[in-house]
Amino acid sequence: MPRKKRPEGTRAPNGASSIYYSEYDKKWHGRVTMGVKDDGKPDRRHVKRATEGEVIKAVRELEKQRDSGRVSKVGQRWKAKAWFEHWVEKIAAPTVRPTTMVGYRSSVYNHLIPGVGDHWLDRLQPEHLENLYSKMIAGGLKPATAHLVHRTARVALKEAWTRCRYVTDNPALIARPPKVEEEEIEPFNDAEIVKIVRAAANPNRKRRKARFIVALAVGLRRGEALGLRWREIEIQWSHGCGEQSRCRTECAGEDCSKRLGRGRLKVRFGLQQRRWQHGCAGACGTGPARKCPDRHGGGLVLAPVKSRAGRRVVGLAHQICMVFDDHRRLQDADREAAGDQWQDLDLVFTNLTGGPIQFSEDFRAWKQLLHDAGVRDARLHDARHTAATMLLILGVPLPVVMKLMGWSNTAAASRYLHVGGDLVDAVADQVGDRMWGLLGDDDDDGDDDLEEVVIQP
């Protein structure tokens, strides 16, 4: 039955919700004032249901959203597919780094749109995302991949929630992503470092020697190392042949056969692999954009490092200065051999014509080096873990380690600093020397003066 009319001469207060029955469509209707539109007019929302109870429930939900300040914006209602496409191409692409966009686009086009794209954006629920993650893992993908998709969804839906107000909450904040087991990383020990350095010094690998020794000793990221330029390396040479400069050279030791070097390396830029874009709107039919004859926007690009902490200065020991000096001579020989084909990009690590080294080529060279050195297989990034752990073994204070490695917070440091077997043994020896040193030299066996203690059951 329809609701009774309000007594004649009375009216509901301004902004109050109204619920009524319409004989025209035989439905119950509700209207709720949610606020004010951009043009100054009242934002009056309408809901329609078959029964009075259903419309009351819908009205109360709108009132709850209004009272909590979680009001969706008036206007277009988005499908999840349309929103994810809009977000990744129109909002994310102009504002984030190209390397970040690779992960975003993969998550959106390969997983989010096929998995949850048919839902209305304001009806997307946490369980929809959780079901997607479960299907990904059941299909053979790693939990880390599902976790990347979750992080992408969280960022995209946050934009729709907080800035655009197309939804009243972010379901990705409630959805539980799969647990990712951290991969156990074991930095190279002393014996392995020796084998790698000796293998890198092989005459057949002389052009890669500096690249991988710097990776172990300085711990530059891949992009930072391959994007390193000579102008960012400063080396001061001094005589090493005696106070009287017996070699009689005039270049402050630069030409001295026993010269000593000390330098600094400025990390400012890094090499990035940008994704190719179709120049034909996909009409070429080649599939991947990198095969399109009209492709654009891709390839290797030299760009500033991504964070303020990444812009740093690293000191170079004498031995590293000598490695760079030898490498420069090899590059001068390559420049002369290449002639007019040489690309003068000022890069430290180049191919035979002065161009940047492709990431895939750098990866293959590293794997071949480990194989030739007889060392276990490991990622190139593990060399950075090794450099950081070496600083820990040397007792370098954590703030200094963070500055040298380019970390902005201690959470990053905790992932890189590993307590390996060598350090564990060294600490055990130091504890033993300290403790039994206090007991005296006559207690070397550690048993003579220790009283037996019996623990009663």
Q: What is the DSSP letter of 54?
A: H
More confident call, 248 vs 384: 384
Neighbours of 307 (CB within 10 A): 10
Q: Which pLDDT belongs to residue 325?
A: 92
Q: Which pLDDT belongs to residue 1?
A: 44
Secondary structure tally for the chain: helices H, strands E? 16, 8
Map tokens 């990776």 to a residue.
215
Residues in the chain, overall count: 457
How far, in Å, CA of 423 to CA of 188, rounded? 12
Q: Which pLDDT belongs to residue 64?
A: 80
Mean pLDDT computed over 71-94: 82
Mean pLDDT computed over 337-355: 94
Map tokens 């420049």 to a residue.
335
Answer whether residue 78 shows pLDDT above 70.
yes
Answer whether residue 139 shows pLDDT above 90.
yes
Residue 43 host element (H or E): strand 42-49
Give, in order, the Cα–Cα distances in Å from 201 to each of 237, 312, 381.
Answer: 23, 28, 20
pLDDT digits (tens, 9 = 90+) for 392-417: 878 888 888 888 888 888 877 777 76
Answer whether residue 350 shows pLDDT above 90.
yes
Question: What does pTM read for this prediction?
Answer: 0.66
pLDDT digits (tens, 9 = 90+) for 433-447: 766 666 665 555 545
Beta bridge partner(s), residue 316: 263
Structure tokens at 165: 């107000």
Q: Which pLDDT belongs to residue 228?
A: 95
Chain centre distance of CA 118:
30
Mean pLDDT computed over 323-351: 94
Q: Is 55 in contact with 31 (CB distance < 8 Å)?
A: no
pLDDT digits (tens, 9 = 90+) for 282-309: 667 666 666 777 777 677 888 888 788 8
Structure tokens at 355: 């161009």
pLDDT digits (tens, 9 = 90+) for 11-47: 666 667 888 888 888 899 998 887 766 667 777 888 8
Answer whether residue 450 shows pLDDT above 50.
no
Mean pLDDT computed over 113-117: 95
Map tokens 């040397």 to a residue.
394
